[in-house]
Amino acid sequence: MIKNKIGADKILSVYWFFILFIISSGIFAMVYVFYNSPFDVRETESGILADKTAECILEQGRIDSEWISGSQIAETGDTCQTESECQKIIGMKIVSIVNGMKNNLGIQDIDNSVKQGGVAENFECLVLQIAMQESSLRHCVEFQKDGNPLYCDGKREEVKSLSNDRETSLGVLQVNTKVHNVDAENFKEGIVYGVEKVLIQQYKETKDGKLFEPTNKNYSGWMAAIRGYNGWGFGGDNDYVEKVISKREFIQSTFPEFCSQNVIVESEKKNLEEECSLNFKSEFDTEQFYLQVDFYNFESFDVKNPMKTIYDGNINLKADCEVQEEKTFERQAICAEKKVYALDENGNKFIIKILSAVRKTEKNAV
């Protein structure tokens, strides 16, 4: 019995070592597979990158105008030398003022109605065309003094004017102060009044159609509003509507970032990594991230036509985001997209779309 017991112990020891070998091999295999596989943090990194960029651009829901300088809302500067430069400054200021008041005019989908009416690309551009017809986009007698196109603001004797028995019209929109009680020598006050109390009021009163007796022609919609801006009686410009519409091409070429059709915005390279303290580093020589920020006007939002685009990083990674819509590949960048709503200092509304792409970091390198 003793021999049998010893023999059984020897047989058990062989099986015991075999079982230990299987368990150890399994543990080794699991550890090897786990630690030999890269950590894929691309999706997390990409999301964080988009969030950090949004925090950098916005502060409590507001955007600094520096980010949108060069766009259709941002002003081009305050000084000019040539007449065309001064027209650009005056025009951008008009756009900024009109854009800020457009939501409160009580006309639904105003931009689309203007475009469908065949008079301008949008409401701001219509006001620019009227200003071009009325004053050649000039508020003062001279188009500038010491580089300032608004040197006369508030000084009636130096403001561009037309005075006769019928009217005393002042400012960039030539508001008739004999008919309207407004200090049109003040740039902003004249624009706000001319838009609200003349153009919009005429649209609401005559959009269904009205006969212009001097030419026996009937106008409706925005054409009627334009006709009413100059007046419905005898003594005005009988071709005023046609002249305002004819300024459309000039306004489109002068303000292509806002008034042209199918605008293609050139992307601007900007060091977002440094400006936003993103500190995105990897052990690779080439940049392993891409950031793109598109700025859109909220009122005339068109996903194909951003006001301005800035980017940073490896632009070649952008193609990965397009391919990814169908399939995700191991060695491609992983992309994330974020959209935020913002206001600028003047209350203008924007949609900001942030696209981020991350390919490899120190943790997921293969």
pLDDT, one tens digit per residue, over 111-151 is: 889 999 999 999 999 999 999 999 999 999 999 999 999 99
Token pair of 312 as six digits: 């940073």
pTM score, whole prediction: 0.58
Q: Which residue has the higher pLDDT, 278 or 134?
A: 134
Here the tokens at position 88 are 């650009």
List the CATH code of the domain at 73-254: 1.10.530
Residue 136: DSSP 8-state: S
**Cβ-contact 292, 319 below 8 angstroms:** no
- Domain ranges across the chain: 1-37, 42-66+265-358, 73-254
User: What is the pLDDT, as a whole number, of residue 204?
Assistant: 96
- Its sign, for the CA torsion 131, 133, 136, 140, is negative
- Tens of pLDDT, residue by residue over 145-179, are 999 999 999 999 999 999 887 789 999 999 999 99
> How far, in Å, CA of 252 to CA of 59, rounded?
33
Q: Please state the rounded mean pLDDT for residues 37-57.
A: 80
pLDDT at site 261? 66
In this structure, how many other beta carbons lie within 10 angstroms of the beta carbon of residue 203? Answer: 23
Pairing of strands 308-313, 267-269: parallel
The structure tokens listed for 131 are: 């200003």
Cα gap 15→296, rounded to integer Å:
73
Distance of alpha carbon 241 from alpha carbon 214, whole angstroms: 13
Indicate the burial class of 286 (C-beta count within 10 angstroms; 0-12, 13-18, 19 or more).
exposed
β-bridge pairing 349-358 and 334-343 = antiparallel
Provide, rounded to the nearest whole percent, the portion of the chain with pLDDT above 90: 40
Cα 340 to Cα 57, 101, 278, 296, 354, distances in angstroms: 10, 22, 19, 11, 8
CB 336 within 8 Å of CB 296? no
Three-state secondary structure call for residue 297? strand
